[in-house]
Structure 1
Amino acid sequence: MPTPLLPATRLPPWLAHVLRAQRGPVPWNAVLRGALAALPLLAAVLAERPTAGVPAALGAMLAGINDRPGSRRASVARLGLPALAGSAGLLCGSVIAETAGDGRSLVVLPLVFGLLGLGAGAISSTGPVASACGTQVLVAVVIGAGMPLPEPGPLRALLFLAGAGWLLLLRLVLPSPGGRRSGPYGLDGEREAVAAVYEAAAELLLAVGGPRARAGRAALSAALDQAQDALTGPRLRRFASSAAERRLHAQYAAAFPLAEAATALAWAGVALPARIVEGPRRLAAAVRTGGSCGPLPAPARTDAGLRALDDALLRAATVFDRPAGMTPGTRTGHSDTSVLGRAWSAAGLEYGLRVSVCCATSTVLAQWLHHEHWYWLPATTVFLVKPDLGPLASRVVCRAVGTVAGAAVFGASSMLVSGPAPLVATVALCGALLPVATRHFAVQTAVVTVLVLSLVLLGGEPPASWGRVVESLLACGTVLLVGHLPMPGRRGHSVRAALDTAVGAAHRYLGHVLDAPEDQALRGALRRDAYRSLAQARTAIDLSAAELPPVSRHSAGSEGVAGALEQLIDTTTACAVQLDHRAAELPPAHAELLATHLSELDRARAVPVG
């Protein structure tokens, strides 16, 4: 959860965003992995081939940025796919450098980088893993074309992949602190994610009838999303863990009716006794320990919501107390539209076009200035243009401040010590700090700046602290300018696309509840899709609202659509519970509310966004 670094009252939204950082416990396991990620670089230095260690260290650094909390299985795609993209990009960049001669051209390189930026940017708009892939492939292409290393292109690509693969291997084999492991590969990340769902359901039930109920519902939806992601990915030990796998998937599926009942009770708004949260909390504890939940306290079955809660607890207890080998398999994935279809949508093309213009413009500027490290400028713009790092003005300010701070720290330390050993130690220290530094973009930038400057010296290039500052400031200016340029079509496609997706998901959910309420499995999947799409739309709205006024005005009116959509989805959930526990049709009061919310949504959508 973001927390302010300084009091941010009455500050512009973009500046308030600068002063916020994520909080949470220190991920000591990720810190250890970050430090150990420098071992391939150390091996290359000991073998007196430090330049061979530079691509490996770059691969490990970029993988470390993507090394976020979650399950091991999810990390395979989150770290592995971007690493493959980066390796291919490094090879492609090396081929481009050979084709362009000395790696400098005012025509060829900007054109190639612009075209690559268009495709990679469009694909990056389709999701977080795709965003990491698009970023790494572009950064690696630029580095491969500009960084003067003696190793041939194919070897660089393999070394890059080896560095990232080493960090992924550490992620898969090292135990998590305090994790309960039943074998060489534990399900601790998945168990904790599923347990968090039951904890969030308990918190929502406790907040019913109070001012925190809405936040509790959002937290429950986020916990379900995180558990869904944690359970998505390859089974790393298919046969040894099949029983535990099936049991955990079934426990996650058993949380769906519980979440539905808790949401319906929150919608009703009648405060509940505190003892009602004991059941979900016992279920959460059972998930963590792998044992049975025992008897659960039953709520009074006085209305449809409480009857649904009682039934959900009973079904969950049955699943939890069933022997692991008898637990049926359960699908927990979510449906998704075509990646290519989303990439070439209006939102994807808008972002891809801006990435393309940024890459081409910064490359022209870098080539024209004839800087020794010209590739830093387009590589920096690739990072800066990413919207998932925060609002544009916020990330530009953070980048500038972080680069200056990192260059100053590196310059001061280089005056005290010299030689390859201190540089390798610096890389290891930066790798250890990176998992914590990712909580604020300025701090992440400072750590990455120190790491990159260390690799520059290990690669045989001269010190470049001042050059790094100049290149970053030029990149900041380029991205800030291009980010506010008018482009073909209407601005704000990402917000409109997210809202359209959420509206479609809500209508599919409502239609199923009214037409086939007995199909609870499909209803649960559609409900998940509706709430997940709503959360993604709100994220896009919040990001756009924190931009500078020339950009933020294009999302005006979107919050009204999201609010009406949230009321419609919550009411649909309450209607689903009513239909489950009534022999008659939908109560007239619920039908009237549905009609009201549908009208409100239509009126909100009739007001043009932006």
Structure 2
Amino acid sequence: MSPTAPGTSQKPALPPWLAHALRAQRGPVPWAAVARGALAGGPLLLAAVLADRAFLGVVAAIAAMLAGINDRPGSRRTSVRRIGVPALAGAVGLLVGTYAGQHLGAVALTLVLTGLGLVGGGISAVGPVASATGTQLLVTSAVGAGMPLPDPGWRSVPAFLAGAGWLLTLRLVLPTPGARTGDSRHVSRIDSRLDFRFDGERAAVADVYDAVAALLEAAGTAHAVARRAALTAALDLAQDALAGPRLRRYASSAAERRLHAQYAAALPLGEAATALAWAEQAVPERAVEGPRRLAAAVRGDTLAGPLPAPARTAPALRALDDALLHAAEAFDRGRGRDLHTRRRSVASLARTVLGAGGREYALRAGLCFGASAAVAQALHHGHWHAHQHWYWLPATAVFLVKPDLGPLVSRVLCRAAGTVVGALLFAGFAAVLPRPEGLVALVAVCGALVPVAARHFAAQTTVVTVLVLALVMAGGEPQASVGRIGETLLACAIVLVVGHLPVPGQWGGGIRARIEAADAAAHAYLAHVLGGSDDRATRWTLRREAYRTLAEARAAIALAAAELPALARHSAGADEVAAVLERLVDTTTACAVHLDDTGRLTPRHAGRLAGLRDELVMRRGRVGRSRTLAR
């Protein structure tokens, strides 16, 4: 036990799984998303009630709620995919679940839902949009099977698509509060009335230049590693923001070309800044000022103007000066290379779904979804329920089994606490609110709170619980808060058991898959740089993929490390491997900049590459031995 200095007290650290459950995201209130949430489910439900089609209004409002959960910060173009693709999967799940629930017996229905769980779990391993797609597929299939509507099944699908489409329309049409409409001196260059359509893209690209400036400022200090990670995150967001479909192919083409050129011009700047940070070389303030002015030009949609040039005393500083000059020219011309697309082939996506991570996630999702559906039907047919429908239990299990929402125990604790609080709150509201107008108002308020509550899983669960219970009561079902609490706790128990069951193959398949992808991307980048190719566009694309896969691996490893010790031990050592890969990619970037300037590597560069390769082999060997012992 280490001695403690007199007069000081040492607070015991919380275990990682509990600390994660208590941690919440920070940031400004997304007022635009709040407004969209208020205008989505409530008005849809009101219109349906007035038309005497309350059940269809419930379906539309559920779709709007799910779309609101996926309505995250970013550009309008990415919202088309982020909201639209899961909504289409949700419509398919609703149709399959409705007809399967009407025409199949309990055993056959359970098998069908288990199969859907396998499919939804497997595709969820691909990425965030795929994860939301798998979630909606399973949730709506549970709702369709366990909450049969009085209208024919084919009518519920258009209602669901209308609800999701309504929120997506609001996302595309409504301007963002506070968005700039361009500099009046350059109205001839852009149509300022349409400029708000690109506020998300513009903010994302500007954040990249700010992140470059922050990294340059931290070069030679202990903050450089964190600032380089922040630059990677900013580049990832900008890459996603520019990767969606065009909103107006002809009228907005000039604005889009300008944003693509500005993003492409940031890549050599980030490369030079990373090389300076690797060299632990302090950068003069005048060199930091250039990216800051470029960030301001992106936000104001203005010309770059004169930029202060750094002294050209070292290869990395000369690369920074050349990158600033290239950026100024790209800003003035308003066109450049289109480098935003992340190239992922169908074959690579299939390998992800069918790989170790996809198989493990698919098995756990299928088991949880199928088991919870079977238990829910048994309770329903045994008349243990105080309400008519049994969808709550499997739908809850879907959210609980998702690893991208946090560690398993953290998800369970947050879901249980949020459901209890939400059910109790709704019981109080149901006792005093008039019907149906009070329930419609409650749905509108909860829809507005969903974007804010998304910062913490327990808060989001509380709001969604109140919203769904209000919708169900508006559809004619009696108040059943106590039953929802019991079903949620039962779903928590099922997911905890399944989450700790051994699966065929090794534990931690998702972590292994992320590390292997990062390793492959890092070595592809290294091979290109050492191969002497002059194709810088390909080099920047490979560099982006290397850093992006590393960031994804780091995020997965951080979540796995916050699990209970019985699960966390299976990812032991993975973080050290990712750290070595990160240093390898940083060193490769420094080598690329130096080769551009001199055509040869210094002994320091070559020695660092050789040392990192040896360390990577050693770390991977240790991880393999520790996993063998863990099994």
User: Contact conserved, 1:180 with 1:186, CA < 8 A, in 2?
Assistant: no
Matched, 1:13 2:16: yes
What corresponds to 1:588 in structure 2? 603
The residue that corresponds to 1:468 in the other structure is: 484
Q: Aligned partners of 1:81, 1:479: CA distance in 2, in Å?
A: 27
Rounded Cα–Cα distance in structure 1 between residues aligned with 2:56 and 2:115: 30
State whether structure 2 residue 559 is matched by structure 1 residue 543. yes
Whole-angstrom CA distance in 1 between matches of 2:540 and 2:371: 48
Answering whether residue 131 of structure 2 is matched by residue 116 of structure 1, we say no
CA distance in 2, matches of 1:248, 1:114: 45
Equivalent residue for 1:45, pick from 49, 62, 70: 49
Q: Name the structure 1 match of 2:7.
A: none
* Residue 453 (structure 1) aligned to one of 465, 469, 473: 469
Q: Which amino acid aligns with 2:559?
A: L
Structure 2 distance, partners of 1:589, 1:212, is 22
Distance (whole Å) between structure 1 residues aligned to residue 424 and residue 336 of structure 2:
58
Task: Answer whether contact 1:253 1:332 (CA < 8 A) is retained.
Answer: yes
Residue type of the alignment partner of 1:295: P
The 1:572–1:435 alpha-carbon spacing in structure 2 relative to 1, beyond 3 Å, is: same
CA–CA distance in structure 2, aligned partners of residues 11 and 517 of structure 1: 50
Residues in 1 aligned to 2:369 and 2:255: alpha-carbon distance in whole angstroms: 47
SS at match of 2:24: strand
State the alpha-carbon separation in 2 of the partners of residues 448 and 526 from structure 1.
41
AA aligned to 2:574 is S
1:251 to 234, 259, 262: 262
Q: Note the C-alpha offset of 1:35.
A: 0.2
1:74-223 correspondence runs (5 A):
74-100=78-104, 105=106, 107-181=107-181, 182-184=192-194, 186-223=197-234
SS of 1:296's equivalent in the other structure is: coil
Is structure 2 residue 523 aligned with structure 1 residue 512? Answer: no
| Normalised TM-score (structure 1) | 0.96
What's the CA shift for 1:183?
3.1
Q: Which moved more, 1:405-414 or 1:216-225?
A: 405-414
Distance 1:186 1:112 in 2: 42
For residue 340 of structure 1, report the CA deviation from its aligned partner. 2.0
Which region of structure 1 is more displaced relative to structure 2, 362-371 or 120-129?
362-371
Structure 2: how far apart are the matches of 1:461 and 1:305?
67
TM-fit CA distance, 1:430: 0.4
SS in 1 for 2:461: helix
How far off is 1:9 after superposition?
5.8
Q: How does 1:308-323 map to 2 (within 5 A)?
A: 308-322=319-333
Equivalent residue letter for 1:152:
P
What's 2:185 paired with? none
Structure 2 counterpart of 1:571, from 574, 582, 587: 587
Query: What secondary structure, in the 3-state scheme, does the structure 1 residue paired with 2:548 have?
Result: helix
Tell me whether 269-278 or 135-144 shows the greater mean CA deviation: 269-278
Q: What RMSD over aligned residues (CA atoms) do the two structures have, in Å?
A: 1.3
Q: SS in structure 2 opposite 1:313?
A: helix
CA distance in structure 2 between the aligned counterparts of 1:297 and 1:486, rounded to whole angstroms? 59
Q: After the TM superposition, which segments of 4 or more aligned residues of structure 1 sit over 6 Å from their partners?
A: none
Report the equivalent of 1:283: 294
**For residue 596 of structure 1, what is the amino acid of its counterpart?**
G
- What does residue 71 of structure 1 align with? 75
One-letter identity of the residue aligned with 1:604: R
Q: Which residue of the partner structure matches residue 3 of structure 1?
A: none
- 2:340 matched residue in structure 1: 332
Structure 2 residue corresponding to 1:353, chosen from 354, 363, 378: 363
- Equivalent in the alignment of 1:442: 458
Please give the secondary structure, in 2, of the residue aligned with 1:461. coil
Aligned residue type for 1:602: V
Aligned to 2:27: 24
1:394 to 410, 413, 419: 410
Query: What is the distance in 2 between the residues matched to 1:110 and 1:96?
Result: 10
Q: 2:312 aligns with which of 292, 301, 305?
A: 301
Indicate if the aligned counterparts of 1:517 and 1:576 stay in contact, CA closer than 8 A.
no
Secondary structure in 1 matching 2:598: coil
Pair 1:341 & 2:358 matched: no
**Cα displacement (A) at 1:373:** 3.0
In the TM superposition, residue 608 of structure 1 has moved relative to its aligned partner by 2.9
Does structure 1 retain, via aligned residues, the 8 Å contact 2:76–2:200?
yes
Please list the CA deviations of residues 211-264 of structure 1 after superposition, one character each: whole Å capped at 9, or x if unmatched.
Answer: 211110000001000000000111010000111111110110000000000000
Deviation digits for residues 3-33 of structure 1 (CA, Å, limit 9, x no counterpart): xxxx996111010001100000000000000
Map of 2:617 onto structure 1? 602
Q: Is the 8 A contact 1:403 1:469 kept in 2?
A: yes
**2:264–2:337 Cα contact (<8 Å) kept:** no
Summarize deviations over 1:496-525 as a string: whole Å, max 9, x none.
110000000000000100113421111000
SS of 1:192 mapped into structure 2: helix
CA distance in 1, matches of 2:240, 2:45: 32
Contact 1:8 1:16 in 2 (8 A): no
After TM superposition, give the deviation of residue 416 of structure 1 in Å: 1.6
CA distance in 2, matches of 1:221, 1:9: 33
| Partner AA of 1:362 in structure 2 | S
Which residue of 562, 569, 579 corresponds with 1:553?
569
In 2: Cα distance, 1:272 partner to 1:290 partner: 27
| 2:284 equivalent in structure 1 | 273
What's the CA shift string for 1:539-594, capped at 9, x where partnerless?
Answer: 111011001111111001111101111111100000001001114x2112211111
Q: CA deviation at 1:286?
A: 0.6
| SS at 2:52 equivalent | coil
Over residues 310-352 of structure 1, what are the superposed CA-to-partner deviations in whole Å (9 max), with x where a residue is unaligned?
0100100111122x4xx24523101224322211111101110
Q: Which amino acid is the alignment partner of residue 341 of structure 1?
A: R
Q: Give the drift of 1:111.
A: 1.0
Give the conservation status (yes or no) of the 8 Å contact 2:58–2:474.
yes
Q: Secondary structure at the match of 1:547?
A: coil
Q: Distance in 1 between matches of 2:152 and 2:389?
A: 19
Residue aligned with 2:164, SS? helix
User: C-alpha distance in 2, partners of 1:401/1:439?
Assistant: 15
Residue segments in structure 1 that go unaligned for 5+ positions in a row: 1-6
Preserved CA contact (<8 Å) 2:312 2:318: yes
Letter in 1 for 2:219: V
Q: Which amino acid aligns with 1:366?
A: A
Candidates 379, 384, 387, aligned match of 1:369: 379
Please tell me the residue identity of whatever aligns with 2:70: N
Q: Secondary structure at the match of 1:187?
A: helix
Identity of aligned residues (%): 62
Check the 8 A contact 1:149/1:459 in 2, yes or no. Answer: no
Q: Secondary structure at the match of 2:426?
A: helix
Unpaired stretches in structure 2, ≥5 consecutive residues: 1-9, 182-191
C-alpha distance after superposition, 1:32-69 (max 9, x if no partner): 00000022111111223211200000000000000000
Aligned residue number for residue 189 of structure 2: none
How far off its partner does 1:389 sit? 0.6
Q: Could you tell me how far apart the structure 1 residues matched to 2:167 and 2:292 are?
A: 35
**1:146 shift after superposition:** 1.2
| Counterpart residue type for residue 453 of structure 1 | L
| 1:498 aligns to 2:508 (yes or no) | no
